Each structure stands twice: as C-alpha cells, then as structure tokens.
Amino acid sequence: MIEELQWNLGRRRTRRWGRGDGRHLDLRRALRSSLRYGGEPMVLPTKRRKTTPRRLVLICDVSGSMERYTRILLQFIHTLYGGLDNRVEAFLFATRLTRVTGHLDYRDIDRAVGEVSKAVPDWSGGTRIGDILKTFNFRWARRVLGWGSVVLVISDGWDRGEPDLFGREMARLQRSSHRLIWLNPLAGAENYEPLTRGMRAAMPYIDDLLPIHNLASLEDLARHLNTLPGSRPERRQRIVPPEIEDDVPAPARVRGSSRHRTANPTFRHPLWGRDG
C-alpha cells in the first residue's frame, strides 16, 4: 500500500535563467537581436528562472522508544527514495548520526533494511537529539540540503540532551531549509500534546507537526507534501523562547555603527525652517 502513494515536492527556482515567456527582459538577447535591424530593438525577448525538483532530507530516530515503528518507517523511507527519483538523503540516529542513503539503492526492501541495520551501530540506543542535529548542521547541511530542500525529522521527541542546544540547532536547521516538518508517531493520539522536554524545545521552529503512525497518516503526509507552497512559511524562530533568550549575549556596541545612531538627523540644512 505504501508503494502506491504518489510523492511530489514540486519544483524550486534556481539562479540560472532560461528563455521563456517570463516578465523579465532579456537585455543580452535583445541587444543581439537589434543588430539585425540596424540597432533598433524590434524584438523584446524575455527570460525566466529555470526550475529543478526539490530535494528531501529525512532524519529518522531509531532509538529504543521508536523501536516499534522502525520497520514501517524504513519501508516508508525506502519508498520515498524510489518515488522521488533518488532525490532523497536519509539519516538515522539514536546517539550517533548515520547516513544511509547509499543503502537505499537496493530495490528489495528486505535487503535494504538489512543493509541499513548493519550500518547503524547504535540501533535502539538512547537519544540526544540536540547533539545529533548539531552534527548534521555542521557536517552535512551544506552537502545535502542545497537551496530549497524540505526536511523531515521523524521522532517521538524523547530526549536526554540539553533543551537549549536542541532549540538552537532546530533554529539553525529551519533557517537552512525550505520547510521543516516534524513527524511524530505519538501525535496520532486524540489528546496528544507536545509536552516532553524535547518537543517543547523543538516546537517554536517546526513548520508542520504531523502524525506518522498508520497508513492513513502516510496518505495525509503525501497530500501535504504534494501541495506545499512555493514560498517559505513565515519563520517562527524570530520569536526567541525565554529560556534561550537569556543565553544569547547582547551585541557589542561599535562606535560609529549605524545601528546605534539616533533616529533624528544631526545635520540641519540652513534653509530648514525659513518661511518662503
């Protein structure tokens, strides 16, 4: 059933320009074209940004508290990898972060899961999500995120690390991604609230919190990903939580810096205030 789901993250604009019916004048082509008519711009060609499919980055928790969901999550990741034409980067973690993208090339799900299991040394171990995200942000983010990637973090949020570190690294990860989506298998419960220490630290920086506990939730996720807007959501990390705000040092004052100049001008024109 999971294999039948359709996944489409849409496309993102690149920095390259191409020919098209865009609204931007292609000045270079217009100048070349005008040479045919003695320098008169008889044709005004336009250009538009080229597009490329978005990439998806998955960071999945395989610690002890997630053990009951591991099999279906690995099948889900394997299906995404094939359904998005290999535009997927996958990482698993408990106490360490392991990149498993290369093991997803196997078409057989059982063999892929077996190879992934061999590659992860801390399967069903503890969880320090803040340290994991710090490792990803400083070692992998520039290599796999690119520009306009969607990030899926899959975890129940149980964490033994420092909440402040967790929050800072979540903020950094959100700034680096087009959209940061958190999939929590516990969120499918009717009265679920993100009350664990880890989830409280993560919530200010999550763009979408969705459940992932059965086939219906996967179908909802597919619809959600297929309808993502092209623009970034309003970034909520601009609102700094109180427990993190206290740890942020005030910026040093720089003499002459424009940030500390008064709002009123210090220069006054000699004609200001004269009548007529």
Give me the residue spans of the domains in the chain: 11-52, 53-237
pLDDT: which is higher, 158 or 18: 158
Cα distance between the two ends of the chain: 82
Given this model, what pLDDT does residue 11 score? 60
H-helix segments, 43-108: 70-83
Give me 198's structure tokens: 């880890």
**143 class by beta-carbon count within 10 Å (0-12 exposed, 13-18 middle, 19+ buried):** exposed
Q: Give the other-Cβ count within 10 Å of 274's Cβ.
A: 7
Decide which of 196 and 234 is more confident.
196
pLDDT at residue 70, as a whole number: 87
Question: What pLDDT digit, counting tens, does each position of 51-90 carry?
Answer: 667 888 999 999 988 988 888 888 888 888 877 776 889 9
pLDDT of residue 62: 92
pLDDT tens digits for 91-114? 999 889 999 998 888 888 888 888
Q: Is 54 helix (H, G, I), strand (E, B) or coil?
A: coil
Mean pLDDT of 222-249: 58
Q: Is 98 helix (H, G, I), strand (E, B) or coil?
A: strand
Q: What would be the CATH architecture of the domain defined by 53-237?
A: 3-Layer(aba) Sandwich (3.40)
How wide is the angle at C-alpha 115 spanned by C-alphas 109 and 116, nearest 5°? 85
Task: Please give the model's pTM, rounded to 2 decimal places.
Answer: 0.72
Could you give the 3-state DSSP secondary structure of residue 157? coil
pLDDT band at 139 (very low <50, low <70, confident <90, very high): very high
